Structures are given as structure tokens and as C-alpha cells.
Amino acid sequence: MARLTIVDDPIGGKGKTVEVENGTTVIRAAAEVGVEIPHFCWHPGLSIAGNCRMCLVEIEKMPKLAIACSTQVADGMVVHVNSQKAVEARKAVLEFILINHPLDCPICDEAGECNLQDYTYSHGPGHSALEEAKNKKSKRVSLGPNVVYDAERCILCSRCIRFMDEIAKNPTLTFVERGDRVYIDTFPGKELDDPYSMNVIDICPVGALTNREYRFKARVWETSSTEGICVGCSRGCNTNIWVRNNEIVRLNPRLNPEVNNYWICDNGRLDSYKHVNSEQRLNSPMIRKDGVLQEVGWDEALAHAADALKPFSKDEVAIIGSAYASVEDNYILQKFARQVIGTPNLSFLSHAIDGDEDNFLIRADKTPNAYGAREVGVVSPKGIDVSRIFELIASGKIKALYVMDDDLAASKENEEALAKLDVLMVNHWMKTRTTDLADVIFPSATYAEKFGTYVNFAGRVQISRPAVSTLERERVPGRFRMSRLDNFGSTFDRWNKGPRRNVRSSWEIVSAIGNLLGGKMRYQSSEKVFEEVAQAIPAFKGLSYAKIGYRGAPLSKGPVGKKSKEEVAVK
């Protein structure tokens, strides 16, 4: 262990003492006491390059300034972060970097979240000593299907190169040429098409690497960022959901060392939110009247659903949960199935794609909550799985089916079986082939429109917070993350007119039907549902929303529920 002092006061002073392991670098030691040393090339998730020279600090008894990112701590070391000498050196470094950096912040996507912009603001002189014209390099270079490179903006920190080498383990990028002509390119014949390629956009300290899809779509200050969970696979990567005008404009990875570290796969980043913005979203409860689906109010649809379930005996009803839905939704659904209906026909569908996984982040199971659905008990007490339910439907033994947040009519046989049902009720966020066959449809909220917990493949419970407002959930401070326009705009502004959909969380819908059928399922919020889950299910014991927080919490190791491996993939 080494004890060192970090002085961040420009005129000296006592500084902060920190004790760290031998071999720790100064920049990490300073971070531990909350002192940020400016840096470009250093990234906590990558190896040390030491080529930007931005993290120069003054260390007592050292003849020259040292770079904090690669200097290792020593016992008794005194580091002056903001002494005059250090600040002037960094100012000079910044001026060097800015010699050829174009002044195009107004059209740069990074503006507002750019390290170079921030440090120029805090350190920079505000003018350039040079009169010569800036270097011309190629702009809008397509490095791969999702990444566009602007060579003029690049400050050559090599973060992207190191990411591809060390994290993606797919060396693709390299420096080309020398001196002031140097730029970044792919190796000949190669393309930046790795499944993790878009992480280079996040780690790029400037706007040199941009997201082809998000390019020019929105300015950072117009958007709000909400802590969410990626629902693309059972890894459950932590994300920030960026919303403008009540529409998700992009997803970014959020640091969680226990799950995804700083990274996320391209598929999760690009495709896991598309359904929230989709044109195919359901926007009202619907009832089939005279063979045609008609939009009705919530009360009418719920009453209709309850009435439709009454004539059937408990063995004639089947309930299908969902690994896409949250822990709360699945818990309420199994409570509905067991206590209100009393049916043994209860299961959910697995959406695992065999072989579509790697040993980094991507998992074969393409749902966020299969573990959670099993844990809360969306499992038949008689071992009836989805394929058995379909057999029973085909043989006419099951006459009514409730499907939550899933599309069952994926195959021809399933579609035919669903058509045989007397009553098919579906809640889903989107128009699917199952909803086309349904007699009653409830529009449900997606993961981005509700509070919900998800259990990833390793048994870690994580909360996804609402980022998109619905008709019932007003975007107000305290409940939502707000952008500047959300805070200051009025309801008359056109940018506040983003679609707010008439949807409810699945647990709200199911519990409302349950209450109409004589059940006792009254909850104020999903947090209250989770409180009951924590009491009723041993694996969730002691957990609460507050305890899960932003980083998630593991399920307790206590006696776990029965695990069924019977779910089959519907192809």
C-alpha cells in the first residue's frame, strides 16, 4: 500500500490523502478522492497509451511534470494537480491539440458531451496563436456499417484502436501516415463491422467517430437521459436512454462493472429500443365485435375480459407469461393464474437462439427476464409447458388463453391452434400476428415506459426506469429525467407533442382483470408489487427498489424456486 497526497488547490494547501495499492496510477488514485485530472487517451477500461499528454501533473521531487495516467504511485508522493506549472503545461498541450482541430462544434454531434470542448472551456486560452490555415483531411469516411469517421476532428488518442485490439479482440483500426497527416483507417480489406464496433463512438473523446443512425438527429442538450436496462438479451446491459420529444433517439452503455462494464453490443444499442418508437404500437384497448376489432375504453375492455373468462372451468384456461415482461408483471400474472383462475396451465416462452452468443456480452437467450419469470413462478405446477399448452388447445381442452407481452403465432401450426380458441386475450405493446387473432387486446407499456425489474442470466436484479411518458404517466420532474425543453417548454410547444400512448403496465392490466374476478390485487405502484415479491419469493428476500439502485443487486442464495427447462423455442 502507498499513501499519497493529492493537492487540487491551485495555490497549494493541505490536499487529500489517499491510500492505494502499489502499482496504481496517479490518475486512478486522484479519482478515488474525487479529483478529476483532464485526460483524452486514458480510458479506465483500456490499456495506457500516454500519447495525449493532457494529464500532466506536478509531482514533488520529480524534475519534470509527469503524466498522471501512467505514473505509478509511491509512498509519500505529493501530487499537485492544479498548480500553475501543471495548468500552464496542460494549456499548452491543449493549444497543440487545437492547432488542427476544426472549429465546427456547432455542427458536431459530440458538442455538449465533448471532453475537448469541456477542457478547452476550463483550460483553453480562447484564441489560437496560429494564423496558418488548418489541416484539411477527409471527412465523412465510412469505417463500417455503423460508424462514420471525421479525420479532421480526430485528436489521435488511439482509444478506438485499443478498444478493437483489447476489448473486441478484433484488430481492425490503425494509424495511417505520419506527422500532421496521420489519420485512422481500417486495415486493407477490413471493415469496422464487429458486433461491438459502436463502442468506439462512446469512447471517442471528440466527435471524430459518429453514429451513422444518430448522426445529426438531435443535440445533446435537447435530450434527457434515463437509466435503463437493455432488453436485447439476458445479459441486461445497463444503458442510458436518450429521449427527445418523447421518442427514444439513442441508447448508450452505462457503467456497471458487474454486468457490462463500459460496453454494449451494436445490436442492443440499435435494435433493442425500436419497438418503443414503432408505428405498429397499440394505442387503445380493443374488443372483437362482429368479427372486427374495435377500439374501446379501458373499463369496457377489462369488464369484457373478466366476463369472457367466467364461463370456463379452471382447466380450460391457459395463461402465458413472458420473459420480455418485468418481474412485477410476471409475479402478478402467476398470482392471477394460481389464486384467481386456479389453472395449472401456466408457462412462458423461451426465445433462446442456440449458438448466437459469444464469451463477452451477447447471450443466446434474447429476453431480459427469463430467470426472473422462472423465479417468481410463471411455471406450471403440473409441468405443462408452452408446447403442451398448444397441444391442449389443438385438442380443444383449452378454450381460453391469456397471453402477456409475447407473440405466440410465430409458426403456422400455432396460428391455427390460436384460431381454434373460444377466447384469446393478449396484452402486448405492438400489433403482432397474435393480436390479429385476439378477441380482446390490451396495449401494454414497454420497458421504457414503466418501472420494472429484470433478472439477468446471472441472477442480478436490475431496475429499468421510465424514459417515455404515456397518457397516464405525465412527464413531471421527480418522476422522469427532464431535458431542457421538458423543463421550460409549455404544452403548446410542438416539440412537446411527441406521441403519448394510451398504455398501461402489464401488471396493472392483469390485476384489474383479477380484481373484477374477485381477486385481491390492489397495488399503488410497481414498487409496491416488488415489495410483495420480496416477501413472497425467497430468492428476492430483502430486496427493494432502493437496495437495487442503479447498479442492481444479486438474488439471495436462499432456496430458489423450481426451475423448468421445458420451455421451447417457437421457430
Partner 1 sequence: MTNNGNGKIKPKMTFWEKLYFPEIIHGMTITMKAMFRPKFTRQYPEERWNPPPVFRGRPVLVVEDETGVERCVACGLCARVCPSLAIQVQAAETELDKERYPELFEINMLRCIFCGFCEEVCPEEAIIMSKDFELTFSEPKDAIFGKDKLLIPRSQLEDRLEFLKQYR
Q: Which residues bind partner 1 (CB under 8 A)?
A: 106-107, 139-140, 215-217, 219, 221-222, 485, 488-489, 493-495
In sequence order, which residues have a C-beta less than 8 Å from that of residue 64 and are 6 or more positions away? Answer: none
- State which residue, 106 or 477, has the beta carbon closest to partner 1: 106
C-alpha cell at 260: 457490462
Comparison of 219 and 289: residue with beta carbon closer to partner 1: 219
C-alpha cell read off for 550? 442503479
Residues 6+ apart with CB under 8 A from 521: 332, 335, 336, 340, 510, 511, 514, 515
CB of residue 468 to partner 1, shortest distance in Å: 19
CA–CA–CA angle 421, 427, 432 (5° rounding): 75
Cβ atoms of 223 and 483 closer than 8 Å: yes
CB-CB contact of 398 with 316 (8 Å): yes
Cα dist from 512 to 89, 147, 267, 453, whole Å: 66, 46, 35, 20
Q: How many CA atoms lie within 13 A of 564 on its CB side?
A: 21
Burial class of residue 490 (count of CB atoms within 10 Å of its CB; 0-12, 13-18, 19+): exposed
Give me 412's grid cell. Answer: 403456422
CB-nearer residue toward partner 1: 187 or 221: 221
Closest to partner 1 by CB, 78 vs 220, is 220
Q: Computed from CA positions of residues 318, 319, 323, 327, in that sequence, does the dihedral angle turn out positive or negative?
A: negative
Q: Could you count the other beta carbons within 10 Å of the beta carbon of residue 191?
A: 14
Which residue lies nearer to partner 1 by CB, 148 or 317? 148
Residue 301 Cα distances to 256, 435, 516, angstroms:
41, 14, 12
- Least distance to partner 1 from the beta carbon of 491, Å? 12
8 Å CB contact between 461 and 234: no
**Least distance from partner 1 to the Cβ atom of residue 441, Å:** 33
> CA 397, CA 315: separation in Å to the nearest integer?
8
Smallest separation (angstroms) from partner 1 to the CB of 150: 9
User: Least distance to partner 1 from the beta carbon of 208, Å?
Assistant: 14
Least distance in Å: CB of 131 to partner 1?
A: 20
- Of 359 and 488, which has the nearer Cβ to partner 1? 488
Min. distance of Cβ 402 from partner 1 in angstroms? 42
Rank residues 271 and 493 by Cβ distance to partner 1 and give the closer one. 493
Give the N- to C-terminal CA distance of the chain in Å, as an integer.
Answer: 56
As measured in angstroms, the least distance from the Cβ of 112 to partner 1 is: 10
- Pick the closest to residue 26 from 8, 52, 51 (CA basis): 8
Please identify, using beta-carbon distances, which residue of 314 and 497 lies nearer to partner 1: 497
As given in the structure block, the three cell numbers for residue 421 are 380458441
Give min distance, CB of 479 to partner 1, in A: 22
Nearer to partner 1, 107 or 129 (CB): 107
Q: How far is CA 514 from the centre of its chain?
A: 32
Q: Select 148 or 533, whichever has its Cβ closest to partner 1.
A: 148
Residue number with CB closer to partner 1 (218 or 255): 218
Distance CA 214, CA 108 (A): 12
Q: Provide the minimum distance between the beta carbon of 36 and partner 1 in the complex, in angstroms, as a whole number.
A: 26
Smallest separation (angstroms) from partner 1 to the CB of 477: 17
> Measured from the CB atom, is 133 or 546 closer to partner 1?
133
Ramachandran quadrant class, 261 (left: phi over 0; alpha: psi -120 to 50; beta: rest): left
How does DSSP assign 441-463, residue by residue?
A: EEEB--GGGS-EEEE-TTSEEEE
Largest CA distance in the chain: 88
Q: How far is the CB of 41 from partner 1 (least distance, A)?
A: 27
